[in-house]
């Protein structure tokens, strides 16, 4: 089911949590809402679910305006960070709950509900645990039960609020892969919220980066990482370094020296240069480059991260070098960013 | 989860590294013996000296049986009423924010503090045939004061805080997300309450019930004013005990007391078993 969020604004007691947000979600897509806490990502998810009502704007499921429908009528599957399982019910009863509370002819017979529950348990790889109570399961197992419960009602959309947030790193990674598999198999339109960029980039077809109640950028992992469209996205996704520079005659200047990068279409004046620490080209001589003194050097996993102090202002930037690169031993390093982007100074 | 003591049997388990287990357990046992066990065993001792035939004669006396029936019956009814309306009061206090909420919250505790005789007199004044509420009920043919119904009213008053105060904290702990989860799964408001919230509250409600019930069985002060104390009709067992004492009929008094003790013990035991069962299930 396609979901369309149209110019939605949400205020909590006059405090705006979302400003005029619009988003199109294609049928069958797996979408991540990514952002720091307070960015409005969970609010957006809850608005789609109907757990909150928009102050302004509409939400469409297909061509149908869902924003005036109650939560019960929307038929969405929602998975909470802390599982929110019914602890007085067995696993099978938890999963069957959504079918059991239906009325009249839409409620399947008890046998059918049981069959469906054990089918879903197979899908989430927990066969044989029908009779357990949630208290008897591990965190990862509980979250899988919660997902099975949400899928039992054959939801139009599956919404997951930081589904792996309460789990430890190992289980998280496992469940991530597993969620992708389930999604590919069942094809539910799925939206999940996360503040973990690795999770978002690895798992989602498209990532929606949010900040301060606004959508900053929507795109595939490649789009978001390679061509961030705002300083926020550049800074938030992956590692980044930035330097205050100046544009003059289509050339980028650092203090009083050109650094060998041309930006013919950039507006003249002060700007900020962003680049990835690992995407730099080391140079020997320095006519048109960025040069700095080594302030610190740290070994991080497979690379060495070197902190440089640049120019008289002692601006600090980080670059990454191969572990055995001789430049790390020197006191002065010159480089030029490979891929970079310029944003007008704020 | 709970540990399985089945194969362990009677065994002292050091609960933590903090010392003092022996001292505190010893103190607790000595204290409970002094306060509860010795007086109660004295009671059993005295009634045991009666002899079986005599004991049975007192126990099977119509007046004794009626008094016990009235005591336990009204206490049960009152506890049942309190479970329904006490839970409702707790719900209102936990769920809604309204002006005066804290005053209502404090009011719930009043029956704890008020001398029960005062409560009894106040209720009698209200519910007597010429009282404010009694006057309104009279034309409907409902007589409250001086009937078992009056006893129930007094016990409802006395027992209310027990239910509210046991259910309230558990209700406050209810995770809002659980309700939201149920709503997204299509459950109506009513279904959420009956299928999700209520079962979670059941252990607390059972506790509240048993406390209110136990309190009601033993209540004396407020009841004797409103009950009218007609033998066979509205005479409660504690009053009968006092009457026997005033007649210097100590064996009869202790015998009735021992029966009450046994009945209360059995009922509380049953309630506790139900509770253990539900705790185990709902973890």
Closest residue, chain B, to A100 (C-alpha)? B187
- Which H helix or E strand runs over A4? strand A3-12
For residues A330 and B54, the model is more confident at B54
Give the start-to-end residue ranges of the domains of chain A. Answer: 3-235, 239-344
Please say whether the beta carbons of B70 and B151 come within 8 A: yes
In chain A, residues 48-87 whose CB comes closer than 8 Å to chain B: 49-51, 71-72, 74-78, 80, 82, 84-87
- Report which DSSP code applies to B96: -
Question: Which tens digits make up the pLDDT trace of A236-276?
Answer: 998 888 888 888 888 888 888 888 888 888 888 888 999 99
Please say whether the beta carbons of A303 and A284 come within 8 A: no
Question: Which tens digits make up the pLDDT trace of B228-253?
Answer: 888 888 889 999 999 999 999 888 88
Looking at beta carbons, which residues of chain B come within 8 Å of A98? 185-187
In chain B, residues 150-189 whose CB comes closer than 8 Å to chain A: 175, 177-178, 180-188
pLDDT (tens place) for every residue of chain B, 283 residues total = 444 444 445 666 666 777 777 888 899 999 999 998 998 888 888 887 888 888 888 888 899 999 999 999 999 999 999 999 999 999 999 988 899 999 999 999 988 888 888 989 999 999 888 888 888 888 888 888 888 899 999 999 999 999 999 999 999 988 889 999 999 999 998 999 889 988 888 888 988 999 999 999 988 888 888 888 888 888 899 999 999 999 998 888 888 888 888 888 898 888 888 888 877 766 5
Contact B282 A75 (CB under 8 A): no
**CA atoms lying within 13 Å on the CB side of residue A9:** 9
**What is the C-alpha separation between A31 and A233, in angstroms, rounded?**
17
- Which residues, including other chains, have CB under 8 Å from residue A69's CB and lie 6 or more apart? A50
Closest residue, chain B, to A71 (C-alpha)? B184
Question: Which tens digits make up the pLDDT trace of A36-70?
Answer: 988 999 999 999 999 999 999 999 998 889 888 88
pLDDT of residue B1: 43
Q: What CATH number was assigned to the domain covering residues A3-235?
A: 3.40.50.300
Q: Does B59 touch chain A (CB under 8 A)?
A: no
Question: Which tens digits make up the pLDDT trace of B75-89?
Answer: 999 999 999 999 999
Give CA B13 to chain center in angstroms.
Answer: 32
Global pTM value: 0.77
Contact B181 A78 (CB under 8 A): yes
pLDDT of residue B8: 47
**What is the C-alpha separation between B155 and B222, in angstroms, rounded?**
8
- The second-level CATH assignment, the architecture, of A239-344 is Beta Barrel (2.40)
Looking at beta carbons, which residues of chain A come within 8 Å of B282? 87-88, 133
In Å, how far is A39's CA from the nearest CA of chain B?
A: 21
With 0-12 / 13-18 / 19 or more C-beta atoms within 10 angstroms meaning exposed / middle / buried, residue A224 is: buried
**What is the C-alpha separation between A278 and A305, in angstroms, rounded?**
9
Does the pLDDT of residue A332 top 90, yes or no?
no
pLDDT of residue B88: 93
Looking at beta carbons, which residues of chain B come within 8 Å of A149? 181, 185
Domains delineated in chain B: 49-282 (1.10.3720.10)
Question: Which tens digits make up the pLDDT trace of A202-229?
Answer: 899 999 999 999 999 999 999 999 889 9
Q: What is the mean pLDDT of residues A132-158?
A: 91
pLDDT of residue B3: 45
Question: Which tens digits make up the pLDDT trace of B31-56?
Answer: 999 998 998 888 888 887 888 888 88
How many beta-carbon pairs below 8 A join chains A and B? 77
pLDDT of residue A9: 93
């Amino acid at each position: 089911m396609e979901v369309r969020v149209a110019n939605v604004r949400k205020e909590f007691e006059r405090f705006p949590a979302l400003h005029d947000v619009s988003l199109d979600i294609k049928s069958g897509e797996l979408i991540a809402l990514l952002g720091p806490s307070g960015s409005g990502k969970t609010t957006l998810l809850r608005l789609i679910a109907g757990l909150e009502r928009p102050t302004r704007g509409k939400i469409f499921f297909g061509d149908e305006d869902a924003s005036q429908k109650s939560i019960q009528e929307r038929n969405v599957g929602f998975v909470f960070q802390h599982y929110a399982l019914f602890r007085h019910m067995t696993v099978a009863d938890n999963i069957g709950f959504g079918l059991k509370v239906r009325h009249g002819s839409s409620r399947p017979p008890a046998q059918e509900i049981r069959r469906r529950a054990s089918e879903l348990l197979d899908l989430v790889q927990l066969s044989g645990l029908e009779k357990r109570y949630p208290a008897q399961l591990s965190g990862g197992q509980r979250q899988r039960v919660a997902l099975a419960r949400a899928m039992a009602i054959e939801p139009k959309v599956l919404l997951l609020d930081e589904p792996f947030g309460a789990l430890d790193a190992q289980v998280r990674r496992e469940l991530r892969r597993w969620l992708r598999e389930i999604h590919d198999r069942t094809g539910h339109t799925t939206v999940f919220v996360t503040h973990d960029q690795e999770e978002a980039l690895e798992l989602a077809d498209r990532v929606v980066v949010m900040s301060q109640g606004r959508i900053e950028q929507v795109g595939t992992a490649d789009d978001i990482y390679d061509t961030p469209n705002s300083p926020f996205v550049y800074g938030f996704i992956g590692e980044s370094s930035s330097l205050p520079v100046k544009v003059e005659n289509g050339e980028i200047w650092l203090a009083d020296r050109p650094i060998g990068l041309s930006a013919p279409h950039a507006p003249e004046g002060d700007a900020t240069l962003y680049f990835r620490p690992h995407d730099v080209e080391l140079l020997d001589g320095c006519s048109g480059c960025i040069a700095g003194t080594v302030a610190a050097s740290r070994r991080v996993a497979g690379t060495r991260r070197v902190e440089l102090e640049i120019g008289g202002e002692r601006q600090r930037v980080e670059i990454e070098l191969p572990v055995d690169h001789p430049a790390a031993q020197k006191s002065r390093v010159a480089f030029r960013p490979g891929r970079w982007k310029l944003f007008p100074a704020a | 989860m709970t540990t399985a003591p089945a194969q362990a049997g009677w065994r002292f388990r050091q609960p933590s590294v903090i010392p003092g287990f022996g001292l505190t357990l010893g103190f607790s046992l000595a204290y409970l013996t002094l306060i509860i066990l010795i007086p109660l065993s004295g009671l059993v001792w005295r009634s045991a000296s009666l002899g079986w035939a005599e004991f049975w004669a007192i126990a099977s006396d119509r007046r004794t049986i009626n008094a016990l029936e009235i005591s336990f019956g009204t206490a049960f009814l009152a506890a049942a009423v309190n479970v329904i309306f006490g839970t409702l009061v707790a719900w209102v206090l936990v769920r809604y924010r309204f002006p005066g909420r804290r005053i209502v919250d404090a009011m719930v505790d009043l029956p704890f503090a008020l001398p029960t005789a005062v409560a009894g007199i106040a209720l009698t004044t209200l519910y007597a045939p010429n009282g404010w509420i009694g006057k309104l009920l009279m034309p409907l043919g409902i007589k409250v004061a001086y009937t078992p119904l009056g006893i129930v009213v007094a016990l409802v008053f006395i027992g209310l805080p027990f239910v509210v105060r046991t259910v309230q904290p558990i209700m406050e702990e209810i995770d809002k997300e659980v309700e939201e989860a149920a709503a997204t799964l299509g459950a109506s408001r009513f279904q959420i309450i009956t299928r999700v919230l209520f079962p979670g509250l059941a252990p607390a409600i059972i506790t509240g019930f048993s406390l209110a019930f136990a309190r009601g069985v033993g209540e004396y002060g407020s009841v004797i004013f409103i009950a009218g104390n007609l033998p066979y009709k509205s005479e409660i067992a504690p009053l009968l005990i006092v009457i026997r004492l005033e007649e210097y009929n100590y064996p009869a008094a202790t015998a009735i007391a021992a029966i009450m003790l046994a009945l209360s013990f059995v009922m509380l035991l049953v309630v506790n078993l139900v509770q253990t069962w539900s705790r185990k299930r709902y973890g």
